[in-house]
Amino acid sequence: MKKKRLKKIKNTAIRKAEEVLAFSRPKSLRDVELHYCAGCGHSIVHRLICETIDEFGIRERVIGVAPVGCAVIAYDYWDFDVTEAAHGRTPAVATGIKRVLPGNIVFTYQGDGDLAAIGTAEIIHAANRGENITVIFVNNGVYGMTGGQMAPTTLAGQKTVTTLEGRTIRNDGYPIKILEMLSVLPGAKYLERVSVHSAQEILRAKRAISKAFKTQIDNKGFSIVEVLSMCPTYWGMTSIQSADRIKNEVSTFYPIGVIKSY
């Protein structure tokens, strides 16, 4: 059953790709092997960003800010200017760059530990100042890099190495819906939640990332795309099970769609 589904997903993906045809590596994506685990959402999101940058023809204007998390060495994969940032300070670093180089396109790439825990102040204030930057927020519900600990986004009841019996509200509080929180800030202009668990959702994610970059290109202000993403390794699941989990569980708590648009 599962195998059949995998085949189906694969086939749809291939069919979709063939329809667009010329399925080739984006110029902004280096021709190297990525270190992400099999079935990890990060690789897909990397590619979507690179496709978007190529399509807008902004590769030579882009400056990326990489997070501390599994995507810490994103600069090994992206063929444009990229800087590192301390854990969670990513939006502050992007603010410094964008204010000095307003003609460049500046984006951050952040996990849910980076953005929704240690960097909560930085993301809220960057959004509130209406910084004209784009944030790609990869929500996989765990801390991947450090070994699968609970993240602020971990669902209630979800087991992780630091919530052995599952996340309890009493001890750990509620999972944070960052986009809904940010949406009350007038400075935050474009907010959309997407997922990369199926070919169809990936296409939607691509459109959202594109819209977010366009928001910045048009000088409209702060844009953020939250991507529900698989971490098969620390969910203790296969790739297929992980995709299903987003479809059936994660996206019911974190609804997919545009949260706010200008």
Ligand X SMILES: Cc1ncc(C[n+]2csc(CCOP(=O)(O)OP(=O)(O)O)c2C)c(N)n1
Return residues touching ligand X (CB under 6 A).
68-71, 87, 111-114, 138, 140, 142-146, 151
Say which entry of ligand SF4, ligand X, other proteins, none residue 85 contacts (CB below 5 to 8 A, set by partner kind). Answer: other proteins
According to DSSP, the β-strands at 149-150 and 142-143 are antiparallel
In this complex, which beta carbon is closest to ligand SF4, that of residue 175 or of residue 232? 232
For tokens 């991947």, what's the residue? 144
In this complex, which beta carbon is closest to ligand X, that of residue 138 or of residue 259? 138
Say which entry of ligand SF4, ligand X, other proteins, none residue 232 contacts (CB below 5 to 8 A, set by partner kind). Answer: ligand SF4
Residue 142 has what DSSP assignment? E
What is the closest distance, in whole angstroms, from the C-beta atom of residue 101 to other proteins in the complex? 5
**Distance, CA of 158 to CA of 254 (rounded, Å):** 14
In this complex, which beta carbon is closest to other proteins, that of residue 124 or of residue 156? 124
Q: State which amino acid sits at residue 111.
A: G
* Three state DSSP letters for 222-238: EEEEEEECCCHHHHCCC
Structure tokens at 9: 């997903």
**Distance, CA of 101 to CA of 99 (rounded, Å):** 6
Residue 27 interacting with other proteins (CB under 8 A): no
Residue 109 interacting with ligand SF4 (CB under 6 A): no
Residue 82 interacting with other proteins (CB under 8 A): yes
Contact 64, 80 (CB under 8 A): yes
Q: How many residues bind ligand SF4 (CB under 6 A)?
A: 11
